[in-house]
Each structure stands twice: as C-alpha cells, then as structure tokens.
Amino acid sequence: MRTYRSLAAAALAVLGLTLSACGASTPGAEVTTSGSGSSNAATAASVADLGGMDKLVEAAKAEGQLNVIALPRDWANYGAVIDAFKAKYGITVNEQSPDASSKEEIAAADANKGTDKAPDVFDLGTNIALTSTDYFAPYKVEQWDKIPADNKEATGLWVNDYTGVMVVGYNKTKFGEITSLDQLTDPKFAGTVALNGKPAEAGAAFNGFMLANLANGGTFDDGTAGLDYFKKLNEAKTLNLTDVTPGTIEAGEHGVVFDWSYNMVPVATSLKAQGVDWATFLPKDIAVGSYYNQAINKDAPNPAAARLWQEFLYSAEAQNLWAEGGALPVLASEFEGEFSEAAKAAVPKVSDLQSPTTEQADAMTKFLQDNWDSAIS
C-alpha cells in the first residue's frame, strides 16, 4: 500500500481546486462534455443496449480514455487491475487523486462536471454510495444475474465489488502484543492510534469505527459506545487525527491503525524488510466487513469506457486480481475455480462477516455526521 484513501477535510478544498483548475472550461479551450464520447453509451443500461460486447469495446476504444479516482495502486491490488485493463483494451487510464476518500470522489464529480476531467467511475464506501445515488447511471454488467440480490441496487445504480475484514494493525516490535482495545489508552501509544480517515466520509474509517463500536458493546443501530471509545482515546491523547500514509507508519507517527486486512499485507511486507514486525489484531473475533461499491458517473466524459471498465471488473480476470491482493471479490464463489493459486491463498476465508444493512449504514453515517466532529476535536 503506497497511499490511503483518507485525506483531511482541508484537502477536500485542495482536491476540488486542483481538478477544477485542470478541467475548467476556459475561453478557447476544447472541452469534452459529458456523454459526448458516445451518445448511445451515455444512456446504455447494459451491453445489449450497445449491440454487444464487441460494439462496447469499439466505442470505448474510440473514446480512448478512462478517468478513475481514489484507487491507490496497492489498495486491493488495484495497480494490477488497472494495468490489466490498459493492456487488454489499449485505453489510457487517468488515475486521479488516488488518496481521495469516498466523499471526495463525489466532490470531484461536482467540481469537474461537464469537463473531460470528471471521474467516469466511482469506487465508494457504502455510507457515501447510499447518499450519492443521484450521481450514478444505472448499468447492469453481463454477470449481473450471478451477483446476489443483496449485493446490488435493483436498477443497477451501484453494485458491490469487494470487501475485506476490518482489523487493527500495529507495530508489535515497538508496542508488544495487543490483545484488547482497552490497552490503547496506555500512554505508550501517545498520539499514534488512527482511523483511516473520518468515519462519516471514508469507508475504511466508517468500518473501523464500527469495529470499535461492536467491540465496546455497541450495535449497528447504536454508535454511542464507539463514539465514547474514541472520546476516551482522544482524552488519553493516544488518538491521532492526521492523515495516515505508509510514510507516517514507517516514520512511527502512526503505530496503530484501524484498516482493512488487505491493506495491512503490503504494510507488513514493507516493514518486515526494515526489521519491524507489523501485526494485526481482531478484537473479540468480530469480523466486520462492508463491500465497496462500483458506480458509473451519470456525467461520465467517457461513458463507453466507464461501462467497459465495469464489465472488466466483474470478469474472472479482475476478480482474480482483487483476490490476489487479499480482498474478497463479490463473485469469488462464482469464479473460484478459475482463480490462481496465489488468489486462493490470499482471499479472506470469512464464515461470519458482520455488515450493517443499507438502512443501518445510512443511519450510522447521519449519527457520525452529527456527532463526530463535536466529540472528537
């Protein structure tokens, strides 16, 4: 993992300004407007609407570009996924703001609407996906019927892609073994404990909050225990609210991080080479998972490429690459027989994954929006 999808609120303004500066319409500038890459593709709800896969590939190649956002190359093996897509179709993938949070993905769509810099596709945490459906174009990939009903929006506005298990990663060499979240108020952790972003804005932080909430007696319907827990960390001065990056972990600024299991693998590998044991801890064996969600920007400047990207992500090839990165892709059971040995070894074996319902995730997001900043300051 080179970067995390979590930026401070201040960075939101920077992101918007940066992308606006790149994509804003200026006198004399040539700007590709939304949907102009292919008028049929802009409204296509399935590959059949475009006359089949060959026609979709043809239209996508004619556009020649795909704008993705918030996809760190070592997050769930996204670098390999992107490279495979480029190699297969010869389409340039513009990797914008890989550090951005889910909330910032939507902000970038607003800031660059109507320009050729707008993101074509989103990869969003559940809490943001559910409150952003007005931004999405409905589309059902060829594998649609194989995706369980609980993992997709009925009209195709969003569909689950992959999940992991939320864990607590920590520097075992420096702190010794962690067996309880209660230990994290110990002064030896001063200023080193972090969520991966703000929980109302980033999927990883949201689920890190949920893990702490459940471990402290909370439920998916009541976040009070989790909020009280992070207030205790803040009062003990062990909570660190600054951005988490591999650099801050390697520098020791962040020594304990709530994050996805697939993100901890490259961290552990990198630190091991430096003689540091980066371990993970699962409080009370609570396996919190929550799928990220794919969606197409309804104002995508490259609508055919956006749809071809979706088709690729739900192919056996891309599902295998996600699994090789330690993520659990939504079609893992469907394509397991086609997975590489590396994918079979890396994919999480989860028998009791706990996830909030869409209604619970929506309500918990509202709770965090109303209470996090005032409680944690």
Per-residue pLDDT at 331: 97
User: pLDDT tens for residues 201-210?
Assistant: 888 899 999 9
Q: Which of 15-24, 147-156, 288-297, 324-333 has the lowest mean pLDDT?
A: 15-24
| pLDDT band at residue 213 under the 50/70/90 scheme | very high
Rounded to an integer, the average pLDDT of 34-40 is 52
Query: pTM here?
Result: 0.78
Same topology for domains 49-163+290-347 and 164-288+356-375, yes or no?
A: yes
Per-residue pLDDT at 244: 82
Tokens 């699962």: give the residue: 282
Phi, psi of 276 (to 5 degrees): -110, 135
| CATH of 164-288+356-375 given 3.40.140.10, 3.40.190.10, 2.60.40.10, 3.40.250.10 | 3.40.190.10
49-163+290-347 adopts what CATH topology?
D-Maltodextrin-Binding Protein; domain 2 (3.40.190)
Per-residue pLDDT at 39: 60
Domain ranges of the chain: 49-163+290-347, 164-288+356-375
User: pLDDT tens for residues 241-269?
Assistant: 987 877 789 889 999 999 998 888 888 98
pLDDT beyond 70 at 34: no
First and final C-alpha spacing in the chain: 28
Rounded to an integer, the average pLDDT of 48-61 is 97
Cβ contact 117:23 at 8 Å = yes
* C-alpha span between 210 and 205 (Å, rounded): 9
Per-residue pLDDT at 3: 34
pLDDT beyond 90 at 15: no
Between 12 and 73, the higher pLDDT residue: 73
Q: Where are the beta strands (DSSP E) in 153-288?
A: 159-160, 162-163, 166-171, 193-195, 256-260, 278-281
